[in-house]
Amino acid sequence: MSSFVISPSRSRTSGDASTNVSGKRTRPSSPPRSKARASARTRTRSSGRAATPTCSSGSSPTTSTRSARGKRDAPRRGSGRGARDRELFRYLTVAVSNEWRRLDERQREEDKTEFAAAVQSPGVRAHAYSLVGTRGDADLLLWIVADDLDAIRAWETRCAATRLWARSSRPYAYLAARRPSPYLGDHKHGGGEGERPAGPVGDLPYLVVYPMTKKRSWYALPREERTRIMAAHFATGHRYPDIRIHTGYSFGIDDQEFVVAFEVPDVRRFVALVSDLRDTESSSYTERERPIFVGAAMRIEEALDQIDGAASRAELLR
């Protein structure tokens, strides 16, 4: 565990008593008035400088500041690209049980309201997608963006306290971390992953998500060769500027190596992109990329209403 210490402030001895050779305590002689003023000014300037924390393990401690009233302010968050490359992604699917579907309408409405409040609780950024019409084994996809794993755990614990959670299952769940691509180097383009905050922009109607793992033979290639192959892969993707990719890295924290998500304007547009990517050399090094989830972006309340057909029922009764 890393620890850090605060550099001690400079001790002041000019006002302390001292003992002479005879054993009697004597007070030091006062310095000239001009020197005293200069010394006071020096102490005033130095006292306004905060002590610098030093970390014994070499890592940087979290910095915090104090307000004028002496209260500790919230820790400062980093800025710039480095701060945008540290978030965690949690993809969670929810499948409600037939038992819940058979509850009376009033109870289902209460359960949905309770669950929606838990999903939107603070600490994470939650995004909802309806899987109705695209999956037979799950009803809802939740994309959670958080700064650390504790926030994800706290969020999921709050969801677990709801009645809807107790009457549903989570058939698929994935964890990934955001980081820069090792193959892009200094390459940048407008709207690229490194230029955006983590999570969906939210201006496109559909999200396609799937876990992916590459063949081990891919990692046996020299870095230069992999960079060349990925350059052709990126060039194909650039032909579809209306599709936005989000790459999550899962090495060592989940069963897959990546979780990739695409915000798309139309599912047929995504079919064209993936078809073109099959012609690239990089495709031959893919081991697995399934299951695939196609979700429709909407508010959590709307997504829950689609599960039990509440919105359609209201229209039928008009």
Domain ranges for the chain, please list them. 82-307
Q: Which residues are CB-neighbours of 59 under 8 A, at least 6 positions away? A: 2
The rounded average pLDDT for each run of 10 residues, N- to C-terminus, in the chain (318 residues) is 35 39 43 47 41 34 34 37 73 98 98 99 97 98 98 98 99 97 70 69 96 98 97 96 96 98 98 98 98 98 96 73
Closest residue by Cα to residue 128 from 145, 114, 111: 145
The confidence score (pLDDT) of residue 77 equals 39
Name the superfamily (CATH) of residues 82-307: Apc35880; domain 1 (3.30.70.1030)
Q: Which amino acid is at 226?
A: R
- Other C-beta atoms within 10 Å of 285: how many? 16
128 with 140: CB under 8 angstroms?
Answer: yes
Dihedral (Cα; 190, 194, 197, 201), 10-degree rounding? 50
What is the pTM assigned to this prediction? 0.72
CB 74 within 8 Å of CB 185? no
Please list, residue by residue across 128-141, b when 16 or more beta carbons sit within 10 angstroms of its beta carbon and e when fewer do.
Answer: bbbbeebbeebbbb
Residues pairing with 93 in the sheet? 141
Looking at residue 275, its pLDDT comes to: 98
